[in-house]
Amino acid sequence: MFPKGTKRKFSDSREEPVAGGEDVNQSNLAAVRMLSSYSLQRQSLLDMSLIKLQLCHMLVEPNLCRSVLIANTVRQIQEEMTQDGTWQIMTQALSAANAAAQGSADRLVATEVLCRQTEAAQGEQVPKPFPVVGSEGCPAEEVAAAEVGMTMSTVSPQAPTSYLPGTFGMDPCWEEETGEDDDDEEDSEECGSGSEGEERERDSLVEDTRTAEQVFGTFEIKNPAPSPDPALEELFSDVDASYYDLDTVLTGMQSVPKMGPYDLLESLSSHGPSPLSSSTSCRSDLNELDHIMEIIVGS
Partner 1 sequence: MAGVGGGNDFQWCFSQVKGAIDEDVAEADIISTVEFNYSGDLLATGDKGGRVVIFQREQESKNRPHSRGEYNVYSTFQSHEPEFDYLKSLEIEEKINKIRWLPQQNAAHSLLSTNDKTIKLWKISQRDKRAEGYNLKDEDGRLRDPFRITSLRVPVLLPMDRMVEASPRRIFANAHTYHINSISVNSDHETYLSADDLRVNLWHLEITDRSFNIVDIKPANMEELTEVITAAECHPHQCNVFVYSSSKGTIRLCDMRAAALCDRQSKFFEEPEDPSSRSFFSEIISSISDVKFSHSGRYMMTRDYLSVKVWDLNMENRPVETYQVHEYLRSKLCSLYENDCIFDKFECCWNGSDSAIMTGSYNNFFRMFDRNTRRDITLEASRENSKPRAILKARKVSTGGKRKKDEISVDSLDFNKKILHTAWHPKENVIAVAATNNLYIFQDKIN
Binding site for partner 1 (CB under 8 A): 42, 45, 48, 52, 59-61, 63-66, 68-69, 71-73, 75-77, 137, 171-177, 180-181, 185-186, 188, 194-195, 213-215, 218-219, 222-223, 262, 265-272
Residue 76 C-beta: closest distance to partner 1, Å: 6
Contact 164/221 with Cβ under 8 angstroms? yes
The nearest distance, CB 238 to partner 1, in angstroms, is 20
Query: How far apart, in whole angstroms, are the C-alpha atoms of residue 220 and residue 285?
Result: 51
Report the length, in residues, of the chain: 299
Task: Please say which residue, 213 or 238, places its beta carbon nearer to partner 1.
Answer: 213
Burial class (CB in 10 A: 0-12, 13-18, 19+), 102: middle
From 29, 30, 32, 94, select the one nearest 248 (Cα to Cα): 94
Cα distance between residue 164 and residue 171, in whole Å: 10
The dihedral region occupied by 245, where left means phi > 0, alpha psi between -120 and 50, and beta the remainder, is alpha
* Residue 187 DSSP label: P
CB of 32 to partner 1, least distance (A): 22
Cβ proximity to partner 1, 104 vs 274, nearer residue: 274
Least distance from partner 1 to the Cβ atom of residue 65, Å: 5
Rg over CA atoms, the chain: 19
Q: How many CB atoms lie within 10 A of CB 195?
A: 20
CA distances 201 to 21, 178, 232, Å, are 47, 22, 11
Q: In the complex, what is the shortest distance from the CB of residue 79 to partner 1, in angstroms, rounded to a whole number?
A: 11
Phi, psi of 183 (to 5 degrees): -90, -95
Nearest CB to partner 1, comparing residues 1 and 65? 65
Cβ-based nearer residue to partner 1, 85 or 131: 131
Measured from the CB atom, is 54 or 92 closer to partner 1?
54
- Residue with smaller CB distance to partner 1, 91 or 195: 195
**CB of residue 31 to partner 1, shortest distance in Å:** 23
